[in-house]
Structure 1
Amino acid sequence: MYIPAFNKFPDQQEAVSFMQRYSFATIITADHDVPVATHLPFLIEQHDDKLVLLSHFAKANPQASAIINKPVLVIFTEPHAYISPSNYEKETNVPTWNYLAVHAYGKASLLAEGNETAGLLAKMINNYEAGYLQQWNNLPDDYKQRMMKGIVAFEIVVDDLQGKQKLSQNRSVLERENIINTLSKSEDSAESEIAKYMSKLK
């Protein structure tokens, strides 16, 4: 990902926190030089010095078998906003877009069917809807086994993490204030989120 120095996330932890907040991401692989993508929810975990991403495919998805021991890219991105040149001090400016994104590269490996897959599902339920965990635990075992037979669980150990926050860092203080004021008044939640991220950089 092209990242000018002033657009970099300040540190890895900031990037990890962003990934955990916007954890519905896109996993991309290549099949005979053709990009293939699937949209999945992820768990983002830190194990000592390792960053690990966990999720699962539908077993019928051909990409489930294409990730084994191959390089993969997972893209995390969510809030973004159109930036009008009306926010700038001079007329000789053009529109742009502000956004945040994290690209995580790594190698994927499959989790074993049975306990490892069940453990991942329990963690994902606890992360996304903890109140459902008791209901899941009380479901008949044969039903849960059938559900788990329809998925392929996997993990990715990240070996390259690239984070970009394009938030008008190259504009003047007045222009940044204009953009924040404009976006914070918007009824679009993504635009108001960008305003909040910009305010944090002050």
Structure 2
Amino acid sequence: MLRTQKFASDNADEVRRLIRRNPWVTFVSMTPSGLVASHYPTLLDEGDTTDISLLTHLGRPDEEYHALGASEILAIVQGPHAYVSSSWYDEGDVIPTWNHVTAHLYGVPEILTDDENFEVLTKLVNHFERGLPLGRTLPQDDPGVRAAARATVGMRLRVSHFEFRPKLSQNKPEHVRENIIRELSGYGPYAHDALADEMRRWGEQYPEDLERGRGYGG
């Protein structure tokens, strides 16, 4: 992720929102054997009101590959993203880009007990099954379910620091941003309603970021 201050944000509430809306998270560890990456459904720990904290589970033996608990790991949360054509800009502005909302979260993971892990698995299932007309829950005392749960390892990641980039054309004039939003909301090959909504929402809620971004030009 490009580490410029042009689009950087320290808005922890927006990071929490990003996690809630994008629960498929990439976990990256540097181990003695090299880099290891895995992808798992993840929840924001809503009970932790002081920090950004993630709850997830890993299938065995991923916890060994990651050497979990030995050192810091990186969790990548990716929100809406799409190509932005320079044909949507003013005449003479010819360099396209890629808009996105991304967070890199860092921390040393905590390995959960079997009971804590089962609680996390139950929360995950309940979260994704809610709203379904025939949504299911995990039987708490089913031996088969308990055996399957033991094939996974629960993990909590209390985030020690993060890098957050809502790159949403903040550096463009307002009329150009409006045109980008129209194009993303249309029917072209790069239409992306979720990104258009995010650009619109960010401009309404954080106009100061647009002013700051335009100060960089380009």
TM-score normalised by length of structure 1: 0.88
Q: Which runs of 4+ in 1 moved over 3 A?
A: 1-6, 62-65, 186-190
Aligned partner of 1:168 in structure 2 is: 169
Q: Distance in 1 between matches of 2:182 and 2:10?
A: 24
CA distance in 2, matches of 1:38, 1:31: 13
> 2:139 matched to which residue of 1?
137
Q: Relative to structure 1, is the Cα distance of residues 162 and 181 closer, same or farther in structure 2, using a 3 angstrom cutoff?
A: same
Partner of 2:155 in structure 1?
A: 154
**Structure 1 residues 188, 121: closer, same or farther in 2, change over 3 A?**
farther
Asked whether the 8 Å contact 2:57–2:155 carries over to 1, the reply is yes
| Deviation of 1:62 (Å) | 5.3
2:159 and 2:185 map into 1 onto residues whose CA distance is 34
Counterparts in 2 of 1:183 and 1:127: CA distance versus 1, 3 Å: same
More displaced, 188-197 or 153-162?
A: 188-197
Q: Aligned to 1:49, what secondary structure does the other structure show?
A: coil
Matched with 1:35 is 35
Extract unaligned runs of 5+ from structure 1.
none
After superposition, give the CA deviation of every residue in 1:17-62 in whole Å (9 maximum; x if it has no partner): 1111001010000123722100111011141312211111111325
The sequence identity of aligned pairs, in percent, is 27
CA distance in 2, matches of 1:15, 1:145: 33
Could you tell me which amino acid in structure 1 is paired with residue 136 of structure 2?
Answer: Y
Tell me the distance in 2 between the aligned counterparts of 1:151 and 1:187: 43
Out of 98-107 and 184-193, give the one that drifted further. 184-193
TM-score normalised by length of structure 2: 0.82
Which structure carries more helix by proportion?
1
2:162 maps to a residue whose letter is L
Kindly report the root-mean-square deviation, in angstroms, between the aligned alpha carbons of the 2 structures: 2.2
Instruction: Identify the residue that residue 51 of structure 1 maps to in structure 2.
Output: 52
Give the whole-Å Cα distance in 2 for the aligned partners of 1:120 and 1:16: 18
Aligned residues between the structures: 198
Relative to structure 1, the CA distance from residue 197 to residue 57 in structure 2 (aligned partners, 3 Å threshold; closer, same or farther) is same
